[in-house]
Structures are given as structure tokens and as C-alpha cells.
Amino acid sequence: MKKSYRDIAERTFNFAICVIKLVKSLPPCAATFEMGKQIIGSATSIDSNVIQARSGVSKKDFINHIKIARKEAKETKRWIQMMIASELATLDKAQSLLDECEEIISILVTIAKNAEKSS
């Protein structure tokens, strides 16, 4: 397994765990429940699609899963922004997640571009 792939797989796994921990730390209310389901779904989907990309049956399948992971990362970023804006999560708690999400998006964009160039 290439180092860059192992790194993104490890990062997306750790990111998903951090998102789950953030949601668990939020005060219980209807908004937390609904937004928590959404953000946990999108954050764990990033990692799931990165792992599925590795098992892709073709280069096209690999690229497709990486692009889905990127889409899910963008959705997760938006959920984090909404949690901050609605004051469900403090900037202190969420800023590092927001930063990591932006880095993951950049990495996934690069992986997709490089894979498309080599196909």
C-alpha cells in the first residue's frame, strides 16, 4: 500500500472518530440529535469510501469512490460550520475538526486529479 493512501486512510478514520466524540460531547437536544446523525453519517462515509476505493475493481471505480469521499467531506465541513454557527459546538471544540476536514478535502482532490491523469 502506498504511503499516501495509508496516510489518508488513517486520517479519515481518526477524523471520523473525532467527529463521533464531538457529537457525544454536545448537550442533548433535538438539534444535536438530528445534526449529529447527519454529521456522523457523512464523516464516517468519508472513511468508508476511501477504504472502498482501495478495493475498487478498476481505476474508474477508485476515482469514483475518492470523489464520493470528497463530496462527503464537503458535506461534513458544512455540518461543522452549522454546528458552530448555531452554537451547538464551540469554535474551540470544532476548529481543529474544521481544519482537518479542509486538509482531507485538499488531499482527496489531489488523489482524484492524480488518478485521472494516470488513467
Q: Is the CB of residue 48 less than 8 Å from the CB of residue 9?
A: no
**How many Cα atoms sit within 13 Å of 57 on the Cβ side?**
0
pLDDT tens digits for 58-94? 999 999 999 999 999 999 999 999 999 999 999 888 9
**3-118 topology per CATH:** de novo design (two linked rop proteins) (1.20.1440)
- Any idea where the domains of the chain sit in the sequence? 3-118
Q: Does 4 score more than 70 pLDDT? A: no
pLDDT tens digits for 16-50? 999 999 999 999 999 999 999 999 999 999 999 99
Give the span between the Cα atoms of 104 and 108, in whole angstroms: 6
